[in-house]
Structure 1
Amino acid sequence: MIRRESKNRLKKPFRISSLIIISIILQLNIGCESKKETTYKFKDPKLSINERVTDLIGHMTLSEKVSQMRYDAPAIERLGVPAYNWWNECLHGVARAGEATVFPQAIGMGATWNAPLLFEVGTVISDEARAKHHRFIKEDKRGIYQGLTFWTPNINIFRDPRWGRGQETYGEDPYLTGRMGVNFIKGLQGDDSKYLKVVATAKHFAVHSGPEKSRHEDNYHTSDKDLKETYLPAFEAAIKEANVQSVMCAYNRYRDEACCGSNLLLNDILRKEWGFDGYVVSDCWAINDFWEPNKHELVETPAEASALAVSRGTDLNCGDVYDPNLGDAVLKGLVDEDKVDRALSRLMEARFKLGMFDPEEMVSWSKIPYDVVCSDAHYKLSEKTARESMVLLKNEGKLLPLKKDLKSIAVIGPNANAKQVLLGNYHGTPFNNITPLKAITEKLPNTTVHYAKGSHIAKGWPLLQPIPSSVLRNGENVGLKGEYFDNETWEGEPKLTRSDSIVDFIWVSKKPIEINTSDSFSVRWTGKIVPEESGSYRIGLRASSAGKLYVDDSLRVDFEDDHEPKMKYLDMRLEAGKSYDIKIKYYNYHTDPQAQLLWSKLDEDLLSPALEAVKKSEVVVLCLGLSPDIEGEEMPVVLEGFDKGDRSEISLPQSQLTLLKEVQALGKPTILVLMNGSALAINWADENIPAILEAWYPGEFGGRAIADVLFGDYNPAGRLPVTFYKSVDDLPDFKSYDMTNRTYKYFKGDPLYEFGHGLSYTSFEYSKLEVPDTIKEDENIPVAVQITNTGDMKGDEVVQLYVSHDKKQYKDGPKHSLIGFKRINLEVGETKKVSFTVTPKQYAIINSAGREQKVSGAVQIYVGGKQPDENDDSDTATTKHLNKIITLN
C-alpha cells in the first residue's frame, strides 16, 4: 500500500460540498429523530445484524454514509456511532501499535511448511490485537492501528524473485500459499459463533506481484489458464475455506480494468462465482490512479472514479477520494445511492460482527487480558516459528552442526548485528532484537567472539549506526538538547527539557512525556556534531511519523508521514574537530514513536578488520544477504542491482561478494548465513562455501534460532517456498505475468536450489507407499506412506506430495504440482505413517479456457522429502522418493 498523506491532509476538516449540503437540507428528518440512543433499533443486540445495519443506514444522510466509507471514518455523534479507523497491519505480528510479539517475516513462515503452526501464529496475533484494541478504547483512542480490521495476509504469488514485496508472501506455489493463508486467517478471525475476533484481509486482488515502480500504471494480461491455475486459487481458498471477511483490491489494471474497478474480478469472480459476502477495500490511494495523469487515466474526475469503484464493488476507500466526491457522484447521477447503501451495509456488517455496537461484556474476545501481549508463551511461539523457518541449503562434509568448545569464532557481515534485518517490513515493535552476534555470544560464553561488519550491505548503502555521544554537544553537555512538546508543532513551552546523549529512541510501552487521549507529541533536538575523524559521511534520520533535519541551519532532510518508520539521509564531508550545528524537528501522532539520528563513514575500510578477525578465529560465520531498507514496497532506493524496492539483479551485492571471496581465501571453515526476503543467486558460494543456511528475516528471536541450528540445538527442517535461480538471465521479463518458464512448475532451466529443498542433520527413508492401482475419474485418491528416521538425531521431516500428468496428452501443463504436505517429527529410529486424501479437484487440470477439466488416462503420484526429480529415482542425502502411476477408469 502506498502512503502519501501528510499529517495536514489526514487531519484536515471533513469537507462537505455544496451538493451534499443541498442533500442534507433535503433530509430534514435529522431534526425529527430522537436523540435517545435507546430509540435506535440498531442498538439492540437481540436483533439480527441485517436488521441493525438496515436501521443504522436508514438514519444516515448521504454525507454521513460517504463519511463512513473512508478508512478514517469520523464519528456520527447524533447517532452514537464512534469514530473508526479501518487501517491496521499484522503481517507477522501486530504492527505499529506499541509493543508486540514479532514473528518471522511471512516468507520465513512460508518456509516452515507447517500450516497448523500458522493457525497458532494467527491466534497469538489476534489475541494481542484484541487486548490492544480494548485498552485503546478504554483510553478513548480510536486512531490508525488501533482497530480490529487488519490488512493481511498477502497471498499474492511470488512469481519473480525481483519483486521487493515478495517477502510478504508465503512463496511461489498456489497450494502452499493457500494452505498457509487459510490457517493464518482462521487464527486471526477466531471461532466464535457470533463475533469475529478480528477481520482479516486477503490481498492484493488480483494478479499483482510487481514491479513496484510502475504498479500505478501497469496493465497486466494473462491466459485464462494462468489466471485460474496460479493467480486465483489462494484467494478462492481464503474465501471458501477460511471465510475471510475482507479483500483488498490491487493498484494495477488487469485486462484493461483497474483491479479496484474490475467487473471481472470483483463481481463475476469474487461475488458471483465464489459467493464472497464480505467487503472490498482499495489499496491505499489506488482509486486516485483512475484519473491522475500518467497512471491508469480511466476517467477524468474524482467523482467519476468514486462512482466507478463503488459501482464495481469497492466498498471502503483507503484514501480520501470518496469523501466528498462519492456524494457528488450520487447527486450527479453517476452512481445510484442504493449502491452506496450496499457498500456501506457490508462495512457496517463487519463492525457489528466485531461487536463494536454491543456491550463489551457480551463479546467474548473482550475478556482477553492485556498481559498476553509479549507474554512468555507468545515469545516461545515466535522462537519456535523462527527455528522452523530455517532452511539448510548446503552442508558439505557435515561441517554443521558446530561444536561448542571452540576457542574462537568470527562473526562477520553487515547482517551479523543489524536489528532491522530481523524484522522485514510491516513489522511491530519488539522488546527483543536478538541478532546472530548476540545469540552466538550468549551461546558460547567461554569462546572469544570476533566481530566485524566486513562490508556495507550494498555499494552506496552503508549500515548506519546511532551517532555516538562522544561527538555530540549542547553547550557544556554531552549529547543534544531535547525539548518535548505535547503537540505536533513544537509550540509553547516544552513539557520536558533534557540532555539526550544520543538520539536512538523506540518508545515501546511508554511515551517520553505524559499525554492524554492523543498519541501526538513532538521533539526538538539541538546541538552540534564535532567529528573525531575527517571523511565522507552519510547522516540519516529515521522517524516513525515525520521529521526534519537541519545542518548549519539548512534543511537537509524533510519527510512527512507514510504511516511506518522510514529513513532519509544526506551525504556530506565532515572535518575532524569542526563544529556543525544540528537541529531535528520530529513529531509523532501514531502509537509507535521512533526517532534515530544515524551515520556511517562512507570511506571507512571495513574489509581489513574483518579479515583480521577471521585470521584470529577457528571458524567463521558470515552473515550476508539483503535488508528491508533496500527491498520492499515502492521505495526511493536506486542502487546497483536494486530498483525502487525491487531488484534488477538477484545475485549478492558486489560489496558482500567481495567480502565472501576474501574470507574464503583465508581457508578457515566458513558457514554462510543468509538473511533476506527473496531468493539469491549465490552461485559462487554454492561452489565454494561448505555450509549455507537460509534464515530469511527471522523475527525478534531470529538470531537465537540461527545459533540453535548452527550448534545443533535444533535440527533444521525448513523448505524453500520459492525457487532459487542462478541468474536474472534465466527469468522472463519482469512485467510478463505469463507463467511460461516461471516457478518450479514451468521453469525449463537448472535451478540453483529447487522449490521444496532443505537439508537435515539426520536422514529419512520412505517405504510402503499405499496408492490404488486404478480409480474412477471422480474418486478421491487415498495415499499413505511410512517415513523412518534412519539417522542419529531426532528431527522434523516435511513430507511433500506432488502429482503430474501425461506430458504427451497435456502438453501445456506443469511438470508437476504440489498437492499435499505435512511436517512431522521423528525420534531416532522412529517410523510414522502419513496419509493424504487427494480430491478430483486436486488432480484435475486447468485447460486453456481456464476451466477445471477431468483427467483421463492416468496420473502419477510422487511422495518424498523434496520436489520429484522425474529422471532419478535414486536416494538423495536425506530422502527417497516413491511414485506410482494410477490408471483412471
Structure 2
Amino acid sequence: MDINCGTYVLRNAQSAVEKGKLQEEDIDRALHNLFSVQLRLGLFDGDPRNGQFGKLGPKNVCTKEHKTLALEAARQGIVLLKNDKKFLPLNKKAVSSLAIIGPLANKANNLDGDYTGYPCDPQSLFEGLKAYVEKTSYAIGCLDVACVSDTQFHKAIIVAKRADFVIVVAGLDLSQETEDRDRVSLLLPGKQMSLVSSVAAASKKPVILVLTGGGPLDVSFAKGDPRIASILWIGYPGEAGAKALAEIIFGEYNPGGRLPMTWYPESFTEVSMTDMNMRPNPSRGYPGRTYRFYTGNRVYGFGGGLSYTNFTYKILSAPSKLSLSGSLSSNSRKRILQQGGERLSYININEITSCDSLRFYMQILVENVGNMDGGHVVMLFSRVPTVFRGAPEKQLVGFDRVHTISHRSTEMSILVDPCEHLSVANEQGKKIMLLGGHVLMLGDLEHFVTIQIY
C-alpha cells in the first residue's frame, strides 16, 4: 500500500477490501504515512509558491555545477563490455565519415529513463557524435523500439555501406520497461537483433554497438560476432549522455563503469518470476538468483566492465587470522568451553559483542600498466568456507573508484567488517559467522583470512 508506483492498487484495492483481503486500518496506515511526508514538506501550508521550495526553478537546476555533475555521472556510468583488438577509442582525425543507426539514436528524451524531471539541454546521441565528425549520417533502421518491421533496414544498410565507421544504437526505452510493463524476453525487442547483424554484415569495418535501457539484455549474438568490435552499455545516461558517449568513443574519457546487475541468457526467462528463492536447487534445475547465488551461464557478469588501459593489484596489508575470543559475550565463551571449541563450525552474530574490534582495512596498490590515464573501480569480494550448505558463490565487500595515471601506482583501502561481510544467513534466516578459512578476492588475487575462537 505504501510504495505502489503503478496502477495495481488503483485497479484492485476496492475488490480486495470487498473480499476482506485488505483492511481499512491498512489503508489508514498508508494514508497516515503519505500525508505525514506531505505535511513535513509544507504542502498544506498555503500557496506552495510561498513555501520553502516555492522559488526553485530552472535557474536553480540548470547551473554549471549541476550540468558538470550530470556529465560526470554519465561518464562514470557507461560500461565498455567488449573491445576486440582495441577497436576503441577512435581517432576522430582518422574518421572521414560516421553512420549512426537505430530508432534510439536520434531521440534525446529516450536517454532520461523513468522518474526524471525536465532536462536543461537535451541532446540526442546522433547530435553528440556529429559534433566530433562533421560528415555524420543517420538512419532509423526500425520505425520504433519495438521494431516489428524491417521495412527501413535497406536504408540503414545503404547508409552503413557509405560510412567509414558505423555505430548501431539498440536496446530498450520506456515503451519496453516501466511501471506496469514487464518484459517477457531478455532479447533485443522485435527485429533489433536482425538490424544489428544486417548492418554489421554491410559495414566496411566492424561496428560499434551501443545499448540503452535499465535492464539486462541477452546480446550473446553480438558478444560472439567478430563483425561487432565493441559493445557499450549506457543505460539511461540523462541529458549529458550523448556528450559522455562521444567522449568515450573518441578517447577523451577512459571508460571505467561496471555492470550493476547480472546479464542472464534468454533461457533464464523459463524460470518462474514468482520463484523468489535466492539459492540454487540442482534437483529441480533451478539456477538461483543474483550474482551471489546464480550458477548458470552469464552473458555478462555483475561488476563486469573494461577500460582502455590495464590494471594490476597488490595487497599491501590485511590480516591472515582473526580471533573472536575478545569479542564474545561471557555466556558465549562458557558455552563454547563446555561444547569444545574445536567442534564448532560457526558463531551466531548476536553472540559477538564487539563487531567494531574485528574490523580491518585491506590496503591495496592499484597500478595502471597501460598507456592511458583513467578512473578504475576496485571491487573486493568475499567467499565463505565451503562447509556451509547454501553459501553464496561470492559477495561484495566494498568498492571504490580511484583515478590512475598511466604507468603509475595509487594506494587505496577498503574497510572489511567481518560481522557484515564475512557472515551469511543460515536456513533459519539468522546471521552466522563461519569459522575457518575465508577468501577475500581482488580481481585474480586471493587472500585467506582464518576466523577462529582463540
Common fold by TM > 0.5:
yes
The alignment status of 1:307 with 2:25, answered yes or no, reads yes
**Matching residue of 1:517:** none
**Matching residue of 1:625:** 171
**Matching residue within 438, 446, 450 for 1:887:** 450
SS of aligned partner of 1:751: coil
Alpha-carbon distance in 1 for matches of 2:19, 2:83:
59
The alignment status of 1:814 with 2:392, answered yes or no, reads yes
Q: Return the letter of the residue paired with 1:289.
A: N
Quote how far apart the aligned CAs of 1:828 are: 1.6
Alpha-carbon distance in 2 for matches of 1:606, 1:291:
47
Contact 1:797 1:823 in 2 (8 A): yes
**Matching residue within 787, 790, 805 for 2:369:** 790
**Matching residue of 1:231:** none
The alignment status of 1:752 with 2:299, answered yes or no, reads yes
SS of aligned partner of 1:768: strand
**Matching residue of 1:427:** 116
SS of aligned partner of 1:646: coil
Quote how far apart the aligned CAs of 1:755 are: 0.4
The alignment status of 1:374 with 2:62, answered yes or no, reads yes
**Matching residue of 1:145:** none
Contact 1:457 1:627 in 2 (8 A): no
Give CA-to-partner distance per residue, 1:608-666, whole Å, 9 cap, x none: 111111111111111111221222122xxxxxxxxxx2122111234111111212222
Q: Return the letter of the residue paired with 1:669.
A: P
Q: Return the letter of the residue paired with 2:189.
A: P
The alignment status of 1:449 with 2:136, answered yes or no, reads yes
Q: Return the letter of the residue paired with 2:272.
A: D
**Matching residue of 2:201:** 665
Quote how far apart the aligned CAs of 1:713 are: 1.0
Give CA-to-partner distance per residue, 1:745-777, whole Å, 9 cap, x none: 111112111100000011111013421011123
Contact 2:264 2:299 in 1 (8 A): yes
Within-5 A mapping of 1:32-431: 248-250=2-4, 286=9, 289-292=12-15, 297=16, 299-300=18-19, 305-310=23-28, 314-316=29-31, 343=32, 347-348=35-36, 351-352=39-40, 371-405=59-93, 406-431=95-120
| Closer/same/farther in 2, CA of residues 859 and 663 from structure 1, 3 Å limit | same
SS of aligned partner of 2:159: helix
Structure 1 runs of 4+ aligned residues shifted over 6 Å read 362-370
SS of aligned partner of 2:30: coil
Question: Percent identity of the aligned residues?
Answer: 28
Q: Can you give the 5+ residue segments of structure 1 that lack an aligned partner in the other structure?
A: 1-204, 206-247, 252-282, 317-342, 462-601, 635-644, 865-880
Within-5 A mapping of 1:667-816: 667-688=204-225, 689-729=228-268, 732-739=271-278, 740=280, 741-777=288-324, 778=355, 779-807=358-386, 809-816=387-394
Q: CA RMSD in A?
A: 2.9
Contact 2:186 2:217 in 1 (8 A): yes
Alpha-carbon distance in 1 for matches of 2:315, 2:189:
47
Alpha-carbon distance in 1 for matches of 2:166, 2:175:
26
| Closer/same/farther in 2, CA of residues 359 and 734 from structure 1, 3 Å limit | closer
| Closer/same/farther in 2, CA of residues 457 and 686 from structure 1, 3 Å limit | farther
Alpha-carbon distance in 2 for matches of 1:348, 1:837:
37
| Closer/same/farther in 2, CA of residues 861 and 428 from structure 1, 3 Å limit | same
Q: Return the letter of the residue paired with 1:850.
A: G
Alpha-carbon distance in 2 for matches of 1:622, 1:370:
33
Quote how far apart the aligned CAs of 1:371 are: 2.4
Q: Return the letter of the residue paired with 1:742.
A: R
The TM-score normalised by the length of structure 2 is: 0.82
**Matching residue of 1:825:** 403
Report the count of equivalent residues. 406
Give CA-to-partner distance per residue, 1:84-130, whole Å, 9 cap, x none: xxxxxxxxxxxxxxxxxxxxxxxxxxxxxxxxxxxxxxxxxxxxxxx
Alpha-carbon distance in 1 for matches of 2:322, 2:46:
53
Give CA-to-partner distance per residue, 1:490-541, whole Å, 9 cap, x none: xxxxxxxxxxxxxxxxxxxxxxxxxxxxxxxxxxxxxxxxxxxxxxxxxxxx
Quote how far apart the aligned CAs of 1:679 are: 0.8
Q: Return the letter of the residue paired with 2:252.
A: D
The TM-score normalised by the length of structure 1 is: 0.43
Within-5 A mapping of 1:830-845: 830-839=408-417, 840-845=419-424
Quote how far apart the aligned CAs of 1:366 are: 7.4
Give CA-to-partner distance per residue, 1:138-183, whole Å, 9 cap, x none: xxxxxxxxxxxxxxxxxxxxxxxxxxxxxxxxxxxxxxxxxxxxxx
Contact 2:98 2:137 in 1 (8 A): yes
Give CA-to-partner distance per residue, 1:412-442, whole Å, 9 cap, x none: 1111112332122222222422111101111
Alpha-carbon distance in 2 for matches of 1:285, 1:617:
48
Contact 2:185 2:269 in 1 (8 A): no
**Matching residue of 1:440:** 129
| Closer/same/farther in 2, CA of residues 796 and 806 from structure 1, 3 Å limit | same
Q: Which moved more, 1:826-835 or 1:703-712?
A: 826-835
Q: Can you give the 5+ residue segments of structure 2 that lack an aligned partner in the other structure?
A: 281-287, 325-354
| Closer/same/farther in 2, CA of residues 849 and 409 from structure 1, 3 Å limit | same
Alpha-carbon distance in 1 for matches of 2:37, 2:299:
49
Alpha-carbon distance in 1 for matches of 2:197, 2:7:
43
Alpha-carbon distance in 2 for matches of 1:850, 1:823:
33
Quote how far apart the aligned CAs of 1:356 are: 7.0
Quote how far apart the aligned CAs of 1:798 are: 0.4
Alpha-carbon distance in 2 for matches of 1:367, 1:424:
26
Alpha-carbon distance in 2 for matches of 1:389, 1:291:
42
| Closer/same/farther in 2, CA of residues 795 and 420 from structure 1, 3 Å limit | same
Quote how far apart the aligned CAs of 1:786 are: 0.8
Quote how far apart the aligned CAs of 1:386 are: 0.9
Contact 1:775 1:886 in 2 (8 A): yes
| Closer/same/farther in 2, CA of residues 648 and 366 from structure 1, 3 Å limit | closer
**Matching residue of 2:185:** 649
